[in-house]
Amino acid sequence: LSPDCSFTCHYRCRALVQLDCSGPPGAGDEDDGNEQVLEKDTNVDEPSEWEKTELDQAQVEQRIKEYNSQINSNLFMSLNKDGSYTGFIKVQLKLVRPVSVPATKRGPSLQAGRSHPQGVKRRTSFYLPKGTVKHLHILSHTRASEVIDALLRKFTVIDNPRKFALFERSEKDEQVYLRKLGDEEQPLRLRLLAGPSEKVLSFILKENETGEVNWDAFTLPELQNFLLILQREEEEHVRRLRHRYARCRQKMQEAL
């Protein structure tokens, strides 16, 4: 039994377990390594507890009043005369692969890649910065697929929207759960039912992972950009490995 993290294992298996319990819980680098361990993907067909809830008009009005009383900003929800309502959702963009934008649309918030040397429709590939978030003002009947379209338009991304998916993230019993939203689901309705707490519910845009990547769905310029990016990543990885082994070799020589 480890005194730091309470990990328990069989006595004869102790030598096979590799754990670093030297730091306090939650300590680590700035990337999402810790969260990735905790995340549990659920099936898109499994409805969330909020999706099962049905509200009548009076309940919707009461929920909106409660929601607005709990937020510390001006991002209120408003009830319309036709029974629908409008409000804001915040979406965090966690994209691993680069996105494509028109070559003449180089936004200041994006990190530049290399544009392809030729082609009728010139485009440039970028990595979106980590932690990129966007607030969207939407209707209660706005679908998840329409939210994806709106986000891509905001960043002038010209990739196929089917390459992306909207996820709901929730925390429960110290476990992080991710669920991919179906195209017809209504994010603002989920936001209202869950309340304003980001821990209870938040939205994330990620690549639409469906198993093996279908490279035939990408254009030739995109594939060429991916090859250049992979080459740079490989060179950087090799450089780091060589540096690490050189340091180890130096320490051994000093010890000798």
The tens digit of pLDDT for each residue in 156-205 reads 898 889 889 999 998 888 788 888 998 999 999 999 999 999 989 999 99
Residue type, 17: V
Cβ(166)–Cβ(178) under 8 Å? no
Residue 34 pLDDT > 70: no
Residue whose token pair is 């990408």: 218
Could you give the residue ranges of the DSSP H alpha helices within the chain? 33-38, 57-70, 144-154, 187-194, 220-255
pLDDT of residue 110: 45
Average per-residue pLDDT in the chain?
Answer: 78
- pTM (predicted TM-score): 0.61
Residue whose token pair is 């069989």: 10
Q: Which helix (H) or strand (E) holds 210?
A: none
> 234 — phi, psi (to 5°)?
-65, -45
Residue type, 8: T
Distance CA 127, CA 129 (A): 6
Residue 26 pLDDT > 60: no
pLDDT of residue 99: 86
Distance CA 167, CA 151 (A): 14
Half-sphere exposure of 15 (CA within 13 A, CB side): 1
